[in-house]
Structure formats: structure tokens, C-alpha cells
Structure 1
Amino acid sequence: MLGAVPVGPAQAAGDEGGLELSALSFSPLAVDATAGDATATLSWTVKDGNASAVTVSGDVYVRQISAAGSTVGPAFDISYSLQPNGSAMTSSVSGNAQSSTYSYDFNVPQYAAQDSADWAVVRVTGSDDQGNTLTVGKDRLSEFASIVTAKESVDSTGPGYEDVSLPPDAPRYLYNAAKAVTVAYYIDVTDPESGVYKGVVTVAGPGGQTASGKLKVLTAGDGNTSCGPGTGGWGSNEIICSVSVTIPAGAAAGRWAVSRIRLTDNAGNTSVHRSLNLAPVQITQNATLRADDFAITPTTVNNWSASQKLSITMKPSGVRQGLTSATVWTGTGCGGSVTQAPATSADGTITLNATMFQTYSKQCTITGIALEDGAGDVAAYGSYFGGPDLNLVVTQIPDTTPPVATSASLSFTTIAASALPRNVVLTADVTSFAGVNRFSVTVYDSAGRPVSGGYGGLSAVTAGTLQIGVDLPQGLTPGVYTVGFELTDEGGLYAQYGYANVGSPAPGGPLQVTVTDS
């Protein structure tokens, strides 16, 4: 353990006229953390010799120090600010920019590699709004009561792992002939005592070639933890880490898998898990099994009213023991397929399938094609696998023709005022390139004032009869009422019928209902 620490007055000054750390201390200087609920209050004061300064903020870093004086585990970052700013862990308890005091209750970790551990302030930083900065290192910090000594529960074992996997949408084949490729892994790591700190993941390929990537658990000011992009949790006793491993350009083709995981916990214990064979990917330069003459048909489709099938053709070569599978990956708006043992035509080509989904898919891009043969050789093409674009694109035929109503009628044309409210049914025969999927109706009185209306959605109709309910409300006075309607298709084009000043007349004449007084 470290020797005695002076507790009398001391200073760590910045530039003259700028920031300085004038006081810092833990209280108490010794705690019992074996039950996991020990707290030591850290207080510090920052002075600013610049009279114009208004704001001060910075960070205090606390870390475990070994008996040999080296750091153990991660640093705890305590952010501070003179004024509450929503992100700092603590704000000033007194003073102004020229002299501000802060306090933070540091939760001393329960576990260490031995039954006693020192937790020390190892660095203090600060800055003000006048451009002055402060950095205080461990040598100057030793002049303060900057260390709390804790009785600890002993953690003597390193971390473990529960699972290693590739993300669900990650490619299982990668093309690395011209440039390096990166493989992303998810690893569920565990350490029930002090928690996981960091690690190294090694991936092995043919001929003893290896590549590796690092993981590190980070703790935010609010206590949330993360371990690589897209991860998050609370605490580090069990957390899923994302790890990226870069396999160099031209590295050996074949099967690469996670072979070794080295993990270190927050107490400094390390465990090494060897001879693994997990989450494999296939690396290829398309040197043995190959394909060319890629084509797709059709290149334009009318998918407004129904999904459309696409055919992708290519000519494989270098096939050994027959093709076992062929897989098509696509961008958004369409879907690929997996074909087991694809048939080869007389001219040496194979045909694979994709689907461009109905209505809202404007474009379908084939992003990847992978072939595998009976000898285990792989060929991978397209950006999905890290290779050049295939330039296989299908586009939607644009919707340029609004819907058309060829006839329209009402279920009745006369009704007594005493029979209201009542729905009259508007029946219309329509044709539409993209399919009618919405409608609106308006009922006008003889002066052209709207008295009722409505709108709604429909299952898309390209040709057929629509029936739309039109509300005739209670209280209509006797007279003639006219119904106008609008049809809108899947592409947003519309046609209006029976309105006074816009659109077309209703086919077959005005749609009118006479309300009588009897």
C-alpha cells in the first residue's frame, strides 16, 4: 500500500492569474467496503485569478493504485461545473468563478484483488470561459489528502463469457482481395464481483494467421455502461460488448473464427479462454470459385398493386463438387433469397430470385451475391461483402396517370327530412394504374356550402367498383344536395368529380339527393 499522505495545506497552481487547485481531500481517509456500501466524500476547491471569469468546469479522476504504484482498472470520471449544466455530476456547493468549492460522494468499489486497496485522485482538469485551463497530475496531487484506503472483498478470478455471435444482419462471407475487411462480433462477458474492464478478441484463419480487436467497458456519469458501439447497460458485471476485428487485404481465404478471448476485470485479474472456434466467417478473394456475366431482369417493374419477382443470372466457374448454395442480398425495399443446390442451365448459367415489394419500393439494389460449392470454396460479390458494387438495380415504373371514374351513382336520390340521419351509398366504377387507395366526399347545399363530408382508406383497386358511404346528417332543410368525390391512388395522384369549381363533372351527371319535407 502507499505510505502516509500529508493532510496539511497544499496548492497545485496553474498559470499565474489563471486556474489553480487550492484544496482537495477525502473524508474519511479509510473505509470498510466489504459489504459494498462504503462512501468517501471528496471535496475540492478551484480558484481562478482571472476576475473576468464567470464559468468553471472540469473533471476529477479517481483510480485504484496498486502497492507498486501502478494503476488498476478504469478511472472514475467525476465531472464538475460551477453552474448546473445538466451533464456535470456535481456543481459548486459555494463560491463563484474566482473560488468555487465542490463535493462528491465517491462510492468505493467493493472488490479488489487483495483485502486492502487505495483509491486515489490521479488527475484534475479544469477550464474557464476566458480560455484558462488547469491540469494537475499525481505528483502534485500527492500533496493533498487525495487517497482513501479501503478494506475490500477479494476478487481472485478473471472474467468469463457466455456467448460470441455475429450480428443478425452481418455478412458471413467477406471479400478482401483489394482491401481489408472488418468483422463485428457481439460478446456477452461476465464478472460477478468487480466487473469486466477490458479485453482482446483474437480471430484465427488458415495457416495460423490471426487478427485481433479490443473491447473496453466505459461508465458514463449517470452510471450507465457501454462496451463498444450499439451497446448499453447498467454495471459491468454482465454486459454485451461489440468488438470489431480487421482482417487485412489478401489474408488467407477460408474459414476465420474467434479462437482466443483475453479478459481483465476491474480488480486487475485476467483470464484467457483459448482453443475456441466461434462465430466463423468465410474470407474469399474469388480466386477458386468465381462468377461473371451478372444480369437482372426486368430492370423496371410495375409493383404498384403487387410485389414483383426478379431474376438474377450469372455464370459460375471453378466449381468443385457442385454448387451447394447461392444467396442474394438486397437493399431496402426488396428481399433476397437462398437457393440450395442451384441448377445449372445448358449454357452454364444459374438463375437466382429476388422480390421487389409492393407499392412503396421505388428501387431495388442487389447488394450481394454469394456462392458456395461442395469443396467449401466461396465466392462473394457486391458491397455487402466488402467488394465492388454489382450495379444490378431495378426501378419502379412511375405513376403518371391519375385514377379515372367511368361511372358513379347514388343508392337513392330522394329522402324525407324526417328520415335523417342516413347514409347514401356512392357506387363508382374506377380504373387506376397505381390503384385507388383513398377517397374523400363532400355534400353541398344548393348555395354551394358544404354541409357534410368524410374520407377514408381502401384496399388498392386498379379496376372495379367502389362503394363509399356518404353521411346525410339530421337537420338538413328541404332542398337539393350535391355530392362531390375525390379518388387518390397509391402514388398520390388524384381525380375530383362533381365539385363546383374544380375537377370533372360526375360521370353520368350530377350526384344529387333531394330532401323533402314529408
Structure 2
Amino acid sequence: MSFTFTRRVLRGALALAVTVATTVLGGTVAHAAVPRLALTALSFEHTTVDVTEQYAANKLTWTVTNTDPDAQSIHGTVTMRMRSTVTGALVGHDWIAHYRFQETCCGDAAYEAGTPQESTYSYHLPVRRYSDATTATWEVTKITIVAGDITKNVSGTQLASFGHSFTAQTLIDASGPTVDHIGLHPSRRPYLYVADNPATVHYDFTVQDHQSGFWKGTIRLAGPAGQSVTTPFTWERDQYSTGFRCGRVSSGERDGTYMACSIGVTLPSGAAPGNWRLAKLVLRNNAGGTTTYTNPTAPSITATSNSAVQASGFLITPNPVDNWRGTVMAELTMSVTGAVKGLSAVHVDFDGSCQQWGVPTAKADGRIAVPVMVPQQTENCEVSGIAVVDGAGNLALYGDTYGAPDPALVITRVPSTEPPVATGATLDPPSMTVSEVNDRSVKLTVQADVKVAPIDGLGVSVYAADGSVVYQSFGGISQAVDGTVTTWLYLGWQNLGPGTYQVGFRLTDAARKSSSWNMPDRADSQTLPGGPLVLTLTAD
């Protein structure tokens, strides 16, 4: 799209003036003119730069003005391009420098001097060493000036009265860019669901051009019935960093000598189902050199609208699963219709740690069954994708992975609603002399019910006769098949004297539920069946 502006060069300066008038009751009331923004100076330091021996930069200096006496700041961009002396056309990626009043450290351009009403900036333009001839022309193609909500664009013939260009002596780049391995991003099955909405697939590759650098390109996918999609692409500067982005990838070197790209190609809604291949990849460098890859080695995409083969009646059994104490197996079943030459594959993907565990089989009732492994204590797994492929290559897709209809399948864990329950506890030994405390530990065994969630934590407190805590410990624990949990109390370093000591404990299970027993310092403590658990220490 192009726009045509009426431009006027006035005394070497460019100014935009707006006069506003309003008619009131037959009379005219004049309002204050809108502040004017202007470019008043622009020049390169050198009219000719030779980069045939080494890299060089040419300093650009410019001055902008604002007639608003109350303005506090001003900013904008300067866009520079190379022009071919062979074709006369602008060629190569643009070079954009951002400038801002009083910004000297972190922007592209440097603030030199001045006020928001008149300020000067500079930028050292790196000059490319390669073009399509021994000379090329560099020029400023556009300047934006922004103050508040007012923007001034200076371009085209408006720049003619300024020193907006220079000539570069260059080396000749007679070749085009090259590309390495082409893959899908992210690494995925090459399936795409296209029905009422468009769908996008991303191709990953790296472009190299160690002379003039990569500029732009196109990707063409060819599908059934003569359909095709062509997508142009280039690299751009990241909006919030100094990096550079080609598609979805932020990497590479400025000017495209080495640029990683991840380019999205969108198939329109209603695209023909079947195989879509990468038919052509065209790459162009900053000197205009072009490389065309026809039918490059790259993954093809199978598109579907689920019109040929369909799956329905999705079901997971058992669900919920009891995987509190170990990994368990479940089964995803479905009915498949429209398949030609049977089924060649069924692929199931999950959000979570569940996995398809084996190949699908046909059950007696004709339903297709896919084994699923549910790891121990996994709380839930959502089915994110199902791909059903028949023997003729027809495809049906379901789930967010493919942007396809949701099968609405979530594997959940059997809920645990009760906290641990202790039914008794013993100490071994229940008594010892004070001197023995330093030489042996006391074994604590707690008998507990086997609930849905296993006990996996045990905290112990030992209380003196006055209720003070003389010993505490907490750690992970395993509950035995018979429900018991066991730990050892090491009391030697406590310097305990003769007397009786009550032992209390807190049980925690894998569902993060807990219960306290015989702990007088906790309001939620319960009385252990069989009464207090007491350790007796006697004098030697």
C-alpha cells in the first residue's frame, strides 16, 4: 500500500503547520496553531566511503525542531537503505536508528546537544562491504519526529535538499544465501487440523550469507488439487531488546550473515486434506542475490478436516485411578469409523506425565484400545492430542495439540478425603538407664490404618513432666503394607535426667493431610488408643 503526500521544501527546513478555525454564529474564531515539527539539518560525514578493504561506518548527523515552547522531549527514528547502482532500486534490509532527547547511553543514535525545541543527534551507519556492483548508494529514506501525540514523517523528495546520501565503494556479492536442515517447530508430528479455521505450521531453518547477509525470502507449500500457499518473511529487530528476530526465533547476527528462522505458514480454512509439501524456498540477500530451493528436503504436512476417518466415544478406564502407591495402567478406548485398509497408527499425547504405553489393539466390540501409563501419585493428566491414521493415510485429529476438536479426556487420581489415623504405638525399649541413652536409640513404631493416601511423613516430639519439649524430629517415612511406620529416636545429646517422658507424634500423608497424637502443645492433638506413650529413664 502506498500513500501520496504533498510536500514543500521551505528554506532548507521542513515544517508542518496546521491552522484550525471554527465558525461561530457567522463569525470566525482562530485557534492557536498546532506545534510544528521539522527537520532542519541532515548530512553524512563523508560523501564517499570505501569498504573494499575493511568495514567502515559513516556518521550521520541531523537536527530536529519543535515550535512548542513547553515541550519536554522529542524522539523518533531514522531509516537508511542501500540503493543498487545497477538496477536503481532500493535493495537489502533497512537500517533503523532510534533517537531520543538526552539519551546518550542506550539508544541507537546519540544525543549531541540542544533542547526539546531544537536538538541534534548522530548515528554511525555500518556500511555493508558487499553489493551487486563495485559501487552502491546509501541514503536516508525516512525520518520520523515525535513529540507528544504529534508525529511528523519526512521522506521522499522532502529529503532532497539535505545531504541524505553517500556513495560506497564495495565488493561484489555474486551468490545467494544458503540454508541448512529444515525441520518443524517444535519437534512434532507432521499433522495439521484445518476445518472452519486456518491452521499454522512453523518451519525451522538457518540462513547463512557471509558476504552481503540475508534479507528476505518466501516459503511455498503445495497441496492436493493444485492448491498452494506462499508466505513471505524477513528478519526484524526485537521490540524490547537489541536482538533480532526471524519469525518466532530471536537470534542471529545483525544484517543476517547467520540467521535462525522459525517461519509460520498458514493453511486457510477449508484447505484440501492430504499431503502438503515444501515445494519452494526462495532466499534473497542484501545485494539482491537470490537462491531458490525447489522441493528441498523437509518434512511434509498431512492436513485433515476429519472428513474421511473419524473417532468418537472416547473413554478412559479406570478413571479415576488409584496410583497413590505405584504406577498403574489405564486404557483409552474409542470407536473409529471411515477407516480404509484398517488402522496404521494411533498416537496419544498428554499434558502431564502420563504416556501412551504400547500399540493400539482392537477389542471384541470393535473399539480401539490404547494402553496408558499413569505414574505414581500423578494428580491428573489431560489428553492434549489424539491422531488416528488409517491404512490409506487418511487422518483424524483431536485435541489442543492440533487445534482440533477437544476429546474432553482427563485422567484424575482417586481423591483422598481422610487424614491419617493411628491405632497404636510402641517404644523399644520402653525404658532404659540414663547412661544407656548415650549408647542406643529408641525404636518408635506407629500402627496406622491403611487409607487411600499413604503416610509419608512422621514428626516426633518428646515432652518432660512439666510439658516442655526436650526432643523433636521430622522426616520422610514409608508406610508398610500392614500400615505401620517406623523411626528411631536419638536422645543421647539431650542430657536427659531420670524421669518419665511422653512421646507424641504427627502423621502426614501424600495428600498433605495430617493428624497429631498425644501432643499436649497442639490443640488438634488426639488421644492415642491405649493411652500415653511413655519412655522411662532410670538412674544408673
Q: TM-score range by the shorter chain?
A: 0.7 to 0.9
Structure 1: stretches of 5+ with no match in the other structure: 1-8
Structure 1 residues 497, 210: closer, same or farther in 2, change over 3 A? same
How far apart are 1:493 and its partner, in Å? 0.9
Q: Please tell me whether residue 228 in structure 1 is matched to residue 247 in structure 2.
A: yes
Is 1:442 matched up with 2:461? yes
Aligned pair partner of 1:70 in 65, 68, 89: 89
For 1:51-450, what aligned pairs fall within 5 Å after superposition? 51-67=69-85, 69-84=88-103, 88-128=107-147, 130-220=148-238, 223-235=242-254, 236-276=256-296, 278-337=298-357, 339=359, 342-362=360-380, 364-412=381-429, 413-414=431-432, 416=434, 424-430=442-448, 431-450=450-469
Distance, in Å, in 2 between the alignment partners of 1:195 and 1:323 is: 48
**What amino acid sits opposite 2:214 in the alignment?**
V
Contact 1:34 1:153 in 2 (8 A): yes
TM-score (norm 2): 0.84
What is the one-letter code of the residue matched to 2:77?
Answer: D
Distance 2:166 2:224 in 1: 51
Task: Work out the CA distance in 2 between the residues paired with 1:272 and 1:283.
Answer: 25
Q: Match of 1:468?
A: 487
Q: 2:68 aligns with which of 46, 50, 53?
A: 50
**Contact 1:440/1:453 (CA < 8 Å) preserved in 2?**
yes
Distance apart, 1:42 and its partner CA: 2.0
Q: Does structure 1 retain, via aligned residues, the 8 Å contact 2:216–2:235?
A: yes
Q: Secondary structure at the match of 1:240?
A: strand
Q: Which residue of 2 aligns with 1:510?
A: 532
- Take 1:428 and 1:233, find their aligned partners in 2: how far apart are those partners? 62
1:423 offset after TM fit, Å? Answer: 5.5
- Looking at structure 2, the residues matched to 418 and 30 of structure 1 have their Cα atoms a distance apart, in angstroms, of 96
For residues 350 and 301 of structure 1, the distance between their equivalents in structure 2, rounded to whole angstroms, comes to 20
Paired AA for residue 101 in structure 1: T
Specify whether residues 469 and 75 from structure 1 end up closer, same or farther in structure 2 by C-alpha distance, changes over 3 A only: farther
The answer to whether the 8 A contact 2:478-2:485 is kept is: no
Give the counterpart letter for 2:277 in structure 1. Answer: A
Separation in 1 of the partners of 2:292 and 2:479? 60
Letter of the structure 2 residue corresponding to residue 323 of structure 1:
L
Contact 2:346 2:386 in 1 (8 A): yes
How many equivalent pairs are there?
506
Deviations 1:32-57 (A, max 9, x none): 22344202222222222222222222
Aligned residues: CA RMSD: 3.0
CA distance in 2, matches of 1:418, 1:51: 92
3-state SS of 1:207 partner: helix
Whether 1:491 and 2:493 are equivalent positions in the alignment is no
Does the Cα contact within 8 Å between 1:47 and 1:98 map onto a contact in 2? Answer: yes
Measured in 2, the distance between the counterparts of 1:298 and 1:201 equals 47
Report if aligned partners of 1:417, 1:474 keep a CA contact under 8 Å in 2: no
- Residues 437, 461 of structure 1: 8 Å contact kept: no
Q: Distance in 2 between matches of 1:255 and 1:266?
A: 34
Q: CA distance change for structure 1 residues 191 and 85 in 2, over 3 Å: closer, same or farther?
A: same
* CA–CA distance in structure 1, aligned partners of residues 428 and 422 of structure 2: 17
Amino acid at match of 1:275: N
Preserved contact between residue 434 and residue 496 of structure 2 (Cα < 8 Å): no
Relative to structure 1, the CA distance from residue 149 to residue 365 in structure 2 (aligned partners, 3 Å threshold; closer, same or farther) is same
Equivalent of residue 15 in structure 2, options 13, 20, 33:
13
Distance 1:106 1:274 in 2: 36
User: By how many angstroms is 1:429 displaced?
Assistant: 3.2
Relative distance call for 1:432 and 1:143 in structure 2 (3 A) is farther
Using structure 1 for the length normalisation, give the TM-score: 0.87
Aligned partners of 1:436 and 1:488 also within 8 Å: yes
Residue type of the alignment partner of 2:269: A
SS class of match (1:300): coil
State the alpha-carbon separation in 2 of the partners of residues 30 and 296 from structure 1.
74
List gaps (5 residues or longer) in structure 2.
Answer: 1-10, 18-33
Q: What's the CA shift string for 1:192-238, capped at 9, x where partnerless?
A: 22222211111112232212223211234865221112442334222
Deviations 1:400-448 (A, max 9, x none): 1112233333444445379659864433233342222333333444443
94 and 456 in structure 1: CA distance in 2 versus 1, 3 angstrom threshold: farther
- Alpha carbons 2:199, 2:266 under 8 Å: kept: yes
Once the 2 structures are TM-superposed, how far is the Cα of residue 114 of structure 1 from its aligned partner?
Answer: 1.9
Are 1:327 and 1:338, in contact at CA under 8 Å, matched by a contact in 2? no
Aligned AA for 1:165? G
The answer (yes or no) to whether the contact 1:434–1:462 under 8 Å persists in 2 is no
Identity, % of aligned pairs?
33
Q: Which moved more, 1:261-270 or 1:508-517?
A: 508-517
> Paired residue for 2:25?
none
The 8 Å contact of residues 171 and 384 in structure 1, kept in 2 or not, is answered as no
Pairing partner for 1:29 from 36, 41, 47: 47
- CA spacing shift, 1:450–1:96, aligned 2, 3 Å: farther
Cα offset, 1:376, TM superposition: 2.5
CA contact (8 A) 1:112 1:266 kept: yes
Change (3 A) 1:103 1:175: closer
Secondary structure of 1:92 counterpart: strand
Evaluate the alpha carbon distance shift between residue 12 and residue 439 of structure 1 in structure 2; reply closer, same or farther with a 3 A threshold. farther
Q: Which has the higher strand share?
A: 1
CA change 1:76–1:453 in 2 (3 A) is farther
Distance 1:453 1:124, change over 3 A: farther
Deviation (angstroms), 1:491: 1.8
